[in-house]
Amino acid sequence: MRRDPFVKTSEGETFESPGFKVEHVVDTVGAGDGFAVGTISALLEGKSLKEAAHRGAAIGALAIMVAGDNEGLPTRDKLESFMDNN
């Protein structure tokens, strides 16, 4: 069952960010860190919270397809390719 990331702001706004299909889960370690780094980096670039959560979901998805904490963190090119193709 696929679950899209749920976001709730301090003002009470809620939304679900579209998730990403993952072909094969290898290791879930690092998924939360990937989500955080994707979200924070997008916010620092001036993206909306919805765009930031979507990026976070993408990096979290990439993180669970490899073993280890940060081995799945993508380059910008790999991230953009993954997001464009899913």
Q: Is residue 62 a part of any domain in this protein?
A: yes
Q: What is the pLDDT of residue 86?
A: 87
Domain carrying residue 40: 30-69
Q: Report the predicted TM-score, pTM, of the whole model to 2 decimal places.
A: 0.89
Does residue 33 carry a catalytic annotation?
yes
Say which residues have a Cβ less than 8 Å from residue 73's Cβ, sequence separation at least 6: 30, 34, 37, 59, 62, 63
Q: Is residue 51 a part of any domain in this protein?
A: yes
Q: Is residue 74 a part of any domain in this protein?
A: no
Q: Could you list the mean pLDDT of each consecutive 10-residue stretch along the chain, which spans 86 residues?
A: 78 89 91 94 96 95 92 94 93
Q: Is residue 10 a part of any domain in this protein?
A: no
Query: What's the structural domain count of the chain?
Result: 1
N residues, the chain = 86
Q: Is residue 13 a part of any domain in this protein?
A: no
Q: Is residue 80 a part of any domain in this protein?
A: no
Catalytic residue selected from 4, 33, 77, 84? 33
